[in-house]
Structure 1
Amino acid sequence: MSLQGILDAVTMMDRSVRLARRNVDTLFASILMPLLMMALFVYVFGGAINTGTEYINYVVPGILLLTTGYGAASTAMVVADDMTSGMIDRLRSLPIRSFAVLTGHVTGSVARNAASTAIVILASLAMGFRPAGSVVDWLATIGLLLLYVLALSWLAAGLGVIAKSVESASTLSFFMLFLPYLSSAFVRPETMPSWLRPISEHQPITPVIETVRSLLIGTPLGNNGWIALAWCCGLLLFSVTLATSLYRKRTSR
């Protein structure tokens, strides 16, 4: 990457972060919805769900991934807005590298997710979450969540590129919000119907949740750590390739 390319990327990163600060309602929603879901499951459903441990300790790792899903979904809508509002045409008239546009949006997504995740963790501690992980465990958790957020944000950026409107981008990114409900985020997979259990056990989000759960509250890790890394790295590679190729194809018209 050339020096000019790096400078272009930094410029678009700064733009994306400033847009995130101005778009308070999107940031608020990405924080409020996970908090409401956590309160709903802990205070309403938690007493009826047996996970072998305090339910809030069980559910917080899943809520953290749900939070990143809301943040990534907003990335798809922001990219779609740029693609359909004429902003991309304006940027194409400037000497800015094409990859810098998506890089800026992804960076903004990571910044939003970092803020919302920190708030969710603080709220969970106030609600009774008691992690037992060491400093190293927390650093490993942060690293894994960052990798997952990057992969999901690049995928969302690709969806935003192909969306014909902001509304359709929201629809395309719906699975990011829905998939955690089919994982081990809220209940143990063995309590699910026999036809649904394999989906829960072998989808990409479950090993990520189980790895975070192991790091923070000490549940058995097994092979989940390696599987989670493989899923995240594979999804990141696929998403970056998909998003950049779709962007080049659409902007070359």
Structure 2
Amino acid sequence: MKSHALVMLRRNAKHIARNPTSVFNAVLMPIVIMLMFVYMFGDAFDVGVDYIDYATPGLMLLAVCYGLGSVATSVNADVTKGIINRFKVMDVSRGAVLTGHVVASVLTNLTAIAALVGVAFLLGFSPSAGLSEWLGIAGIIVLLAVAAGWFTVALGLSAKSPETAGLATVPLVMLPFFSSAIVPAEKMGPGLRQFAEYQPFTPIIETVRGLLNGTPAAGDVIPALIWCVAIAVIGYAWARSTFTKRA
């Protein structure tokens, strides 16, 4: 099982490296968005601190979502083109096929976030986090990346074609924009403010923001962990069920 998963991981990593569009969307696009918001719109937002310090946590979580379209497309292509059936003939573990996609997605996310944080420091990002806070940030990001990965794999398996699989991830990509990633939720209008406050990404972003400031709040941490675990469990169960039906 473990060796099968490593083989599937290498396979997915090679596919990602050979697809410049997926690399751009996953790694470079979050940096482009950061430059756009910091330089073009940063002065328009009154957030009480330097805008780069406010926006970086949200953009880190946004980076988790930007490569998901290629993951869903790749998963769906494996099913619709009969590649999964070839793996079955070769006695490759079914779980390894799905796990390979998820782990490749997580590693891509971590690469994108590392690049994003590096650019943020060049732009003046100055967090107050110590070692323990950075470890907490890494933990919550990995947990979210795993949860988003399994949910995306489930979306890819459920779609009828690679094109619709890619489109199915658009709400996940857009959801962080309707959270506290760019501006505080309390500055939004009625309706949108309530949506931002109660959707999954806001407590996760506020947890990362609190850890970077050295002041994490239990009121954000607990909902963030609950959301991440719930999404991971739902995505995993949905993916395994759909995979069994389609493979």
Asked if Structure 1 and Structure 2 have the same fold, meaning a TM-score greater than 0.5 normalized by the shorter chain, the answer is: yes
Question: In 1, distance between residues paired with 2:201 and 2:150?
Answer: 16
Matched, 1:163 2:159: yes
Work out whether residues 79 and 246 of structure 2, in 8 Å CA contact, stay in contact via their aligned partners in 1: no
Which one-letter code corresponds to 2:235 in the other structure? S
Question: In 1, distance between residues paired with 2:103 and 2:215?
Answer: 32
Partner of 2:11: 15
**Which residues in structure 2 correspond to 1:44-193 (within 5 Å)?**
44-193=40-189
Deviation at 1:67, TM superposition (A): 0.6
Partner of 2:32: 36
Work out whether residues 133 and 214 of structure 2, in 8 Å CA contact, stay in contact via their aligned partners in 1: no
Task: Number of aligned residue pairs: give it.
Answer: 247
Matched, 1:209 2:205: yes
Work out whether residues 159 and 169 of structure 1, in 8 Å CA contact, stay in contact via their aligned partners in 2: yes
User: Which sections of structure 1, spanning at least 5 residues, go unmatched?
Assistant: none
With the length of structure 2 as denominator, give the TM-score of the two structures: 0.96
Question: In 1, distance between residues paired with 2:65 and 2:23?
Answer: 13
Matched, 1:246 2:236: no
Work out whether residues 130 and 214 of structure 2, in 8 Å CA contact, stay in contact via their aligned partners in 1: no
Identity %: 38
RMSD: 1.3
Which one-letter code corresponds to 1:16 in the other structure? N
Per-residue CA shift, 1:31-84, capped at 9, x if unaligned? Answer: 221111111111111101001111110001111111110122321111112122
Partner of 1:223: 219
With the length of structure 1 as denominator, give the TM-score of the two structures: 0.94
Per-residue CA shift, 1:116-164, capped at 9, x if unaligned? Answer: 1111110111111111100110110001000000000000001111112
Partner of 2:21: 25
Work out whether residues 154 and 240 of structure 1, in 8 Å CA contact, stay in contact via their aligned partners in 2: yes
Partner of 2:231: 235
Specify the SS of the correspondent of 1:52: coil
Deviation at 1:8, TM superposition (A): 1.9
Deviation at 1:90, TM superposition (A): 1.4
Deviation at 1:20, TM superposition (A): 2.2
Specify the SS of the correspondent of 2:217: coil
